[in-house]
């Protein structure tokens, strides 16, 4: 990959883009190479880790929906965990909320980070919307990996 670093004054002296990725959300692949062939669209120094497939608890057998977080790993690790991540969701989602998690279960490290994605569906008829009783910690819906040709995530990491 070519060096895609872009310097910016947004985060101070010599801050810039250190990694970025555009990934789809197909829950397919027996190993990281197959997972990348299915999910990785483009990027630099960042990929959706196959560990995303098994993080958290499955919401339904074979559903591809998880209440955990999506793991993103750097090809070349960051010097520390003091980086910022900006996320954009592609078409196919009515609205999405996403943030990087930094907890004991989902640590933000120099090697990787975890992303929680919640989607707000405008209709109560959507099977992906959990009932109020099944929501935890103000969760809207589960972090989801499902086969969709129209939905993607774009991430930019600044340091």
pLDDT digits (tens, 9 = 90+) for 100-156: 989 888 899 999 999 887 665 544 445 555 555 555 555 544 455 555 556 678 899
Measure the CA–CA gap between 98 and 29, rounded to whole angstroms: 24
Contact 74, 17 (CB under 8 A): no
Q: Is the pLDDT of residue 64 over 60?
A: no
Quick one: residue 45, left, alpha or beta (phi over 0 = left, psi -120 to 50 = alpha)? Answer: left
* pLDDT value of residue 112: 97
Q: Is the pLDDT of residue 65 over 70?
A: no
């Amino acid at each position: 990959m070519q060096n895609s670093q872009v310097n910016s004054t947004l985060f101070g002296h010599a801050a810039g883009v250190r990694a970025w990725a555009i990934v789809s959300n197909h829950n397919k692949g027996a190993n990281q190479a197959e997972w990348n062939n299915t999910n990785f669209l483009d990027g630099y120094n960042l990929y959706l880790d196959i560990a995303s497939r098994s993080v958290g608890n499955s919401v339904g057998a074979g559903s591809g929906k998880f209440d955990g977080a999506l793991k993103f790993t750097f090809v070349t690790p960051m010097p520390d965990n003091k980086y910022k991540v900006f996320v954009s969701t592609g078409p196919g989602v009515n609205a999405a909320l996403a943030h990087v998690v930094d907890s004991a279960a989902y640590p933000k490290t120099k090697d990787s980070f975890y992303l929680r994605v919640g989607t707000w569906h405008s209709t109560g008829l959507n099977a992906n919307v959990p009932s109020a009783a099944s929501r935890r910690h103000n969760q809207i819906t589960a972090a989801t990996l499902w086969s969709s040709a129209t939905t993607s995530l774009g991430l930019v990491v600044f340091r």
